[in-house]
């Protein structure tokens, strides 16, 4: 179903790099490596690049925004310390991470 949906999205948004990435990752997660490589090549040939993901967090009525791999935020170290603490607490209650859906915070 994910593959069909992504293919339909590509018909309506052929320049959306995020959709190409979604389709490639879906192929890869189902073991369809040739199809995944074909989609990645097509993305590269079209010169498409995905915009980095952006997250917001409200701390004490102040909204902080940051993007993937951003270490320029004034609270960068505190953010990563908080993530590490949260990860530790989640592990203690039995939560496990799906490695394909997580970012590397050296946890």
Q: Give residue 97's pLDDT.
A: 67
Considering the chain, what percentage of its residues have pLDDT values greater than 70?
89
- Does 106 map to a domain? no
Domain of 36?
A: 2-45
SS (H, E, C) the chain: CHHHHHHHHHHHCCCCHHHHHHHHHHHHHCCCHHHHHHHHHHHHHCCCCCCCCEEEEEECCEEEEEECCCCCCCCHHHHHHHHHHHHHHHHHCCCCCCHHHCCCCCC
The count of domains in the chain is 2
pLDDT for 10 beyond 70? yes
Other beta carbons less than 10 A from residue 105's beta carbon:
11
pTM: 0.50
41 with 67, same domain: the answer is: no
- Does 72 map to a domain? yes
64 with 34, same domain: the answer is: no
Most confident of 18-27, 48-57, 96-105: 18-27
pLDDT for 26 beyond 80? yes
Q: Give residue 99's pLDDT.
A: 62
pLDDT for 91 beyond 90? no
Q: Cα–Cα–Cα angle for 17, 37, 66, nearest 5°?
A: 40
């Amino acid at each position: 179903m994910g593959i069909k949906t992504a293919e339909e999205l590509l018909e309506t948004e052929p320049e959306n790099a995020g959709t190409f990435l979604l389709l490639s990752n879906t192929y890869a997660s189902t073991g369809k490596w040739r199809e995944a490589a074909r989609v990645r090549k097509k993305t590269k040939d079209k010169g498409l690049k995905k915009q980095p993901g952006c997250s917001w967090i409200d701390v004490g009525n102040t909204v902080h925004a940051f993007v993937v791999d951003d270490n320029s935020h004034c609270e960068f170290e505190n953010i990563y310390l908080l993530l590490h603490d949260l990860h530790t607490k989640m592990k203690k209650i039995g939560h496990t991470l799906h490695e394909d859906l997580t970012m590397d915070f050296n946890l």
